[in-house]
Chain A
Amino acid sequence: MTTPFGFHYRLERKAIGLVLGIILVASIGGIVEIAPLFTIHQTVEEAPDMRVYTPLELAGRNIYIREGCYACHSQMIRTLRDEVERYGPYSLAVESKYDHPMLWGSKRTGPDLARLGGKYSDAWHVAHLLNPRDVVPESVMPAYAWLARTPLKTDDLGRHLAAMRKVGVPYTDDMIANAKDDAYGQARPDTPFAEGVTKRYGEATNVRAFGGEATVTEMDALVAYLQILGRLTDAAHKTAKAGE
Chain B
Amino acid sequence: MLAGLTRNERDLSLVILTALTLVGLLMAVAGRNDPLGVHGGIVMIICILAIFAVIANYYKPEPGEDRFDRYYDEPTKFGIIIAMIWVVVGLFIGDWVAWLLVNPNLTFDAGWASFGRLRPVHTSGVIFGFGGNALIATSFYVMQRTSRARMPDQISPWFVLFGYNLFCIIAASGYLMGVTQSKEYAEPEWYADIWLVIVWVAYLILYLRTLARRKEPHIYVANWYYLAFILVVAMLHIVNNLAVPVSLSSAKSYSLFSGVQDAMTEWWYGHNAVAFFLTSGFLGMMYYYMPVRAGRPIFSYRLSIISFWGITFFYMWAGSHHLHYTALPQWVQTLGMTFSVMLLVPSWASASNALLTLNGAWHKVRDDATLRFMMVAAVFYGLSTFEGSFMAIRSVNSLSHYTDWTVGHVHAGALGWVAMITFGSIYASVPWLWKTKTMYSPRLVEVHFWLALAGTIIYVFAMWNSGIIQGLMWRTYNESGTLAYSFVDSLVAMHPYYIARAIGGLLFLIGGVVAFYNIWMTIRMAAATASDTPRDRPVPALQPAE
B-binding residues in A (CB < 8 A): 5, 8-9, 12-13, 15-16, 18-19, 22-23, 25-30, 32-34, 37-38, 40, 42-44, 62, 65-72, 74, 76, 78-80, 82-83, 85-86, 90-112, 132-133, 136, 138-146, 156, 159-160, 163-164, 166-169
Contact = CB atoms under 8 A, between A and B. Distances in A.
Given A80-B325, A159-B246, A23 B260 contact: no
14 contacts: A26-B231, A26-B313, A29-B313, A33-B319, A34-B261, A37-B329, A68-B119, A76-B327, A85-B483, A98-B258, A99-B259, A138-B488, A163-B254, A167-B243
B268 A142 contact: no
A159 B266 contact: no
A13 B114 contact: no
A15 B316 contact: no
Interface string B296-325: 000000100100010011111111101111
B260, B326, B475 pick with most chain A CB within 10 angstroms: B260
B19 interface: no
Contacts of B218: 9, 12-13
Contacts of A42: 329
Q: Which 9 A-B pairs have the closest CB atoms?
A: A68-B116, A29-B316, A66-B178, A78-B325, A96-B259, A29-B317, A93-B327, A142-B114, A101-B255
Interface string B279-311: 000000000000000000000001001000100
Interface range for B:
35 or more
Contact of B268 (A12, A34, A94, A163): A34
Interface in B219-257: 219, 224, 227-228, 231-232, 235, 239, 243-247, 250, 252-257
Contacts of A136: 488
A133 to B, nearest CB: 8
Interface in B189-245: 208, 211-212, 217-219, 224, 227-228, 231-232, 235, 239, 243-245
B367 interface: no
B13 interface: no
Given A29-B317, A37-B332, A65-B182, A159 B247 contact: yes
Contacts of A32: 317, 335
A72 B452 CA distance: 27
Interface in B464-515: 474-475, 477, 482-483, 487-488, 491-492, 498
B339 A29 contact: yes
Contacts of A159: 246-247, 250
Nearest to A5: B302
A1 to B, nearest CB: 10
Contacts of A146: 109-111
A34 B337 CA distance: 15
Contact of A106 (B120, B317, B402): B402
A107 B250 contact: no
Interface string B154-188: 00000000000000000000010011111110000
Contacts of A65: 180-182
Nearest to A15: B211
Nearest to A137: B488
For B227, B254, B325, the residue with the greatest tally of chain A CB atoms inside 10 Å of its CB is: B254
A67 B334 CA distance: 34
Contacts of A143: 104-105, 107, 109
Interface in B392-417: 398, 401-403, 406-407
B444 interface: no
A82 B182 contact: no
A138 B326 CA distance: 29
